[in-house]
A and B are shown apart, each in its own frame.
Chain A
Amino acid sequence: DAKTTQPTSMDCAEGRAANLPCNHSTISGNEYVYWYRQIHSQGPQYIIHGLKNNETNEMASLIITEDRKSSTLILPHATLRDTAVYYCIVRFPYSGGGADGLTFGKGTHLIIQP
């Protein structure tokens, strides 16, 4: 079973900030939160990841709550090209053996409206 819960779909107006929530209430202390997105019929693309601090890169910002049970991916100025399925994933760091594969849930279909 996926370790995360995301809304099935969301709409956002072009030019606005898109805020995508993710619940991961069973996350353990050393599991990271990763975000990927998949544009139709293409391979998923890495966006950002974090452990406990908020993170920002050229694509997005990641806000992780203090208890780490939920997070929000923020696309600050959404464009039509940001329409995609967004996946939130939690995973352990590499431990030299016995680690899990990278497991995806169903994600959130974000639709940017013109």
Chain B
Amino acid sequence: DGGITQSPKYLFRKEGQNVTLSCEQNLNHDAMYWYRQDPGQGLRLIYYSQIVNDFQKGDIAEGYSVSREKKESFPLTVTSAQKNPTAFYLCASSDSLNTEAFFGQGTRLTVV
């Protein structure tokens, strides 16, 4: 089935370690996005990518990095520079920036 897959669903890391969250889509979408969601809050945009090898910072990019080497993949690295990394992370894709976005089921990252 076509869709967008995030893995793992739950992730635990020690403070000070970098961690990479996976996002894969087989929808042939050009645009992909990463969001962060904290309890009781809306979604905040971290990074987005319109095409392969291109990405733009969102509202809260500090402490995060991304790559877009393949159309179907948009991994997010949470670095040790991110002061409050514990959150629910959501990945999305769309076939252009004008159409509906499809979301993955999210990765809940806990840093201890």
A residues engaging B (CB < 8 A)?
A: 2, 32, 34, 36, 41-46, 49, 85, 87, 91-95, 97, 99-107
A46 to B100, CA, bound (A): 6
CA distance A100 to B97 in the complex (A): 8
Q: Which residue of B48, B90, B97 is within 8 Å of A93 (Cβ)?
A: B97
Q: A91-B98, A93-B97, A102-B94 are in contact. List 18 more A-B contacts (CB 8 A).
A: A2-B42, A36-B101, A42-B105, A43-B103, A43-B104, A43-B106, A45-B103, A46-B101, A92-B98, A94-B96, A94-B98, A95-B97, A97-B50, A101-B33, A102-B33, A102-B101, A103-B59, A104-B43
Interface residues, chain B, with chain A CB atoms under 8 Å away? 33, 35, 41-45, 48, 50, 56, 58-59, 88, 90, 92, 94, 96-98, 100-106, 108
A81 smallest CB distance to B (angstroms):
17
Residues of chain B lying within 8 A (CB to CB) of residue A44: 43, 90, 92, 101, 103
Across-interface contacts of B101 in A (CB, < 8 A)? 36, 44, 46, 102
Residues in A whose Cβ lies below 8 Å from that of B35: 104
- Measured between alpha carbons, how far is A97 from B96 in the docked complex, in Å? 11
> Which of A43, A94, A102, A105 has the most chain B CB within a 10 Å cutoff?
A43
B56 engages A93 (CB within 8 Å): no
Q: Count of A-B contacts with CB under 8 A?
A: 65
List the B residue with the shortest CB-CB distance to A99: B97
Residues of A within 8 A of B104 (CB): 43
Interchain CB contact (< 8 A) of A101 among B45, B96, B98, B106:
B45
Q: Please, how many angstroms separate the alpha-carbon atoms of A41 and B105 in the complex?
A: 8
Docked complex Cα distance between A34 and B99 (Å): 9
Complexed CA–CA distance, A102 and B92 (Å): 10
Once bound together, how far apart are the Cα atoms of A71 and B106, in whole Å?
Answer: 29
Contact B56 A101 (CB under 8 A): yes
Which residues of B have CB within 8 Å of A97? 50
Point out the residues of chain A lying under 8 angstroms from B43, CB to CB.
44, 87, 104
Does A41 lie within 8 Å of B88, measured CB to CB? Answer: yes
Q: What is the minimal beta-carbon distance from B39 to any residue of chain A, in angstroms? A: 10
